[in-house]
A = this chain, B = another copy of it.
């Protein structure tokens, strides 16, 4: 169980290594977390070593290395934001992503997307999308819709002024389709997506 300062220290080390490729000096850590004493930093680092997050080559300059902490599955260190042309920018407050907690919600299911119909919204062939089971949706939401009780499709929803339902693919090569409301049954609404390379 890390203390606040220890966690802050670990986070700084991770971001530093991601940005520089080598470990920080104690002095740099001190400045990074906003204190002055190298001795104090050393104490925090030692705690991280004891807790298994970090390895230390004793005495060597920049001798810290990150260790794979084999704790709970699905916890991934979150470093911050990456924008082209800048170093990775740390975000205080959040230092880990919990995959189980990332998609929280009631009544969800997952499907694998086949085809390119939503490619312009960044949903590619093979992606897995997380859907929240619902039978209604607002304009603009992306839904899993069942058409004529036989075809399922993932499209953006629009209720037209004429009382019809339009299902809009995110792909210039495809045309939106118009349906009578009773033809279309909404099965759920898109709440997330994930992809593995």
Contact = CB atoms under 8 A, between A and B. Distances in A.
Interface of A: 1-4, 7, 14, 18-22, 57, 60-63, 66, 68, 72-88, 91, 94-104, 106-115, 117, 119, 121-124, 127-130, 133, 135, 142, 144, 146, 149-155, 169, 185, 187-188, 190-197
A110 B20 contact: no
Contact of A74 (B63, B74, B117, B133): B74
Given A103-B99, A190-B197, A82 B18 contact: no
A192 B191 contact: no
Contact of A84 (B121, B127, B169, B196): B169
Nearest to A129: B82
B153 A84 contact: yes
B117 A84 contact: yes
